Amino acid sequence: MIDREDMLELTRRMTPSRTCFSRIAGCYLDEEGYEDGTFNIHFLKLDGAEKKKNLEIARTIPFSETNVQLKDCAFRKPQPGRDPVRMLLQGMLGTELKDDGLNSIFYEIAAEQYKAAGPYAIYLFYGAYDVPRKGTDKQRQDESEIVYRFIVGAFCPLAGEYEPGDPDYGFLYPAFSDRCPDDGAVQIFDRDPSRPQREMTLRLLS
């Protein structure tokens, strides 16, 4: 089960004045999954309005209703003849999303599985958070004992030309559990839990 306080702790580092993100990358696709452009930029190079807009997209994932819209999902054992997406995510995390080749492979996999009602965008955010220690009284202490490096993914319908709407689907990798990274799991977001993106989630967990 996801601890709501863990997610709120992350979202407090997703503001223009305290952003934990250093890179944003993404891809625009039509409803059939054909690519219509990509981007990859240092997050701090965005202007103020763009930072705010993109932070709202990223925040949607951890700020969603925990254990309803956002759920913990363990990675499955790799299937014969299929490359694990987990290894791809590890590579993307290790390069801090700077490798466009790895990012493109992810977009291709997503395009094959994601069910879209119209044109959409995939946004990827790389962040690093120095998790502060807490004393026995649960009060924050200044010393950091672990760095949580992570990717937020958001699948957004396009509200206009290259203009993303609120995310319908997304993920947080690796999972943030007990204020620590859990490499064996990913936290997956479905805006409408009654209509989950099952095919995309199953592929993501392979």
pLDDT band per the 50, 70, 90 thresholds, residue 138: low
- By C-alpha distance, which of 92, 108, 89, 115 is closest to 197? 115
Residue 131 has pLDDT above 70, yes or no: yes
Q: What is the mean pLDDT of residues 115-124?
A: 96
- By C-alpha distance, which of 30, 38, 171 is closest to 101? 38
CA dist 146 and 165 (Å) reads: 34
- What is the structure's pLDDT at 145? 77
Tokens, residue 147: 């760095």
CA dist 79 and 83 (Å) reads: 8
Give Cα 170 to chain centroid, integer Å.
6
Residue 139 has pLDDT above 70, yes or no: no
7-40 pLDDT, tens digit per residue, is 999 999 999 999 999 999 999 999 899 999 999 9
Q: Residues 6 or more apart from 130 whose CB is under 8 A from it? A: 144, 146, 147
- What is the structure's pLDDT at 41? 97
- What is the structure's pLDDT at 74? 95
pLDDT band per the 50, 70, 90 thresholds, residue 136: low
Residue 108 has pLDDT above 90, yes or no: yes
47-101 pLDDT, tens digit per residue, is 999 999 999 999 999 999 999 999 999 998 766 656 689 999 999 999 999 999 9
CB atoms under 10 Å from CB of 97, counted, come to 23
154-175 pLDDT, tens digit per residue, is 999 998 889 999 999 999 999 9
What number of helices (H) and strands (E) belong to the chain? 5, 10
Q: Which amino acid is at 98?
A: K
The sign one gets for the Cα dihedral 44, 46, 47, 49 is: negative
The beta strand positions in 12-135, using DSSP E, are 21-29, 35-42, 70-74, 120-134
Tell me the C-alpha to C-alpha distance, in Å, between residue 163 and each of 59, 115, 130, 159, 160: 17, 19, 32, 5, 5
Q: Length of the chain, please?
A: 206
CA dist 173 and 126 (Å) reads: 10
Residue 142 has pLDDT above 70, yes or no: no
Residue 137 has pLDDT above 70, yes or no: no
